[in-house]
Structure 1
Amino acid sequence: MATARPRPLSPHLSIWRWRVHALVSITHRITGNAMAFVAIPLFTWWLVAAATGPEAYETFYGVARSPIGYIVGVGFTYSFFQHMLSGLRHLVMDTGAGYELKTAKTSATAAYVGAVILTALTWFAIYSHKGF
């Protein structure tokens, strides 16, 4: 009878170094799920409130203009831009380009920085609009 050889052990998560190009991939999945499971129902609430009448829309508007509403709005704006930019990054990588370590790290960092800049520009435009 053959003796069983010990199987190799997979490294534990604490051994792996978390790099930005791995985190942007994980963030892409998280932001996609956040938009699917939370932003779409909020968008639907907005549409139904707008179609139902002024009272229903005032309720939605009051929640949206609350401090929590602004936090959720900024969060979903960031989520949208992060998902979009990392999706574009993955689209380019699907062509076979951008797999070099330096390029992958640069494009992942650019996705994070770009999402923050686009979110800030969007909310700056919202706040600078007259009548806001």
Structure 2
Amino acid sequence: MDASTERVRPERPLSPHLQIYSPLINMVTSILHRITGAALYVGSLLLVVWLLAAATGPDVYDYVAALFATWPAKLILLGYTWALMLHLLGGLRHLIWDTGAGYELKTTDILCWGSLALSFALTALIWIGVAASGGL
């Protein structure tokens, strides 16, 4: 077969990419829901360590509590709290969608923005409550 008889593929448009396509809030919250779900697996190991330390005895518990009282650990726990809140609210958003409600674009945007904003607010309230009780 020579070059003159080969089939030539017509030019096709390229797929959109980040320089052209702007992500929508429902796409962003969907991705964050998946990421926070994975982060909760890892962060839950901290809860297991804390519970095992409490079950082991006061010396081990005091050691783990001292580790959790460091600034890097508090930052990780803050992130864990936010991930838990966002994932919880994302689950509630999906529960609403499972009922067949909330599929209108405006409602979807409100639910997505609301879950994102509320996750930050709930995280702040939890940590303010912990600080007020003397837990930090």
TM-score (norm 1): 0.88
Partners of 1:108 and 1:30 in 2: how far apart? 15
Partners of 1:25 and 1:63 in 2: how far apart? 33
Give the length in aligned residue pairs: 131
How many angstroms does 1:131 deviate by? 6.7
Runs of at least 5 residues in structure 2 that lack an aligned partner in the other structure: none
Aligned to 1:123: 127
Query: Of 11, 27, 45, which aligns to 2:16?
Result: 11
1:28-79 Cα offsets, whole Å, 9 max, x none, are: 000000001x112111111111111122111210111111121111111111
Q: Percent identity?
A: 41
2:84 pairs with 1:100: no
Regions of 4+ moved over 4 Å: none
How many angstroms does 1:4 deviate by? 5.6
The structure that has the greater radius of gyration is: 2
Query: CA distance change for structure 1 residues 17 and 58 in 2, over 3 Å: closer, same or farther?
Result: same
Aligned to 2:34: 29
**Two-structure CA RMSD over aligned residues (Å):** 1.9
Q: 2:102 is paired with a residue of what secondary structure?
A: coil
2:86 pairs with 1:82: yes
Query: CA distance change for structure 1 residues 66 and 102 in 2, over 3 Å: closer, same or farther?
Result: same
Partners of 2:104 and 2:56 in 1: how far apart? 53
Runs of at least 5 residues in structure 1 that lack an aligned partner in the other structure: none
Partners of 1:102 and 1:117 in 2: how far apart? 22
Partners of 2:135 and 2:97 in 1: how far apart? 43
TM-score (norm 2): 0.86
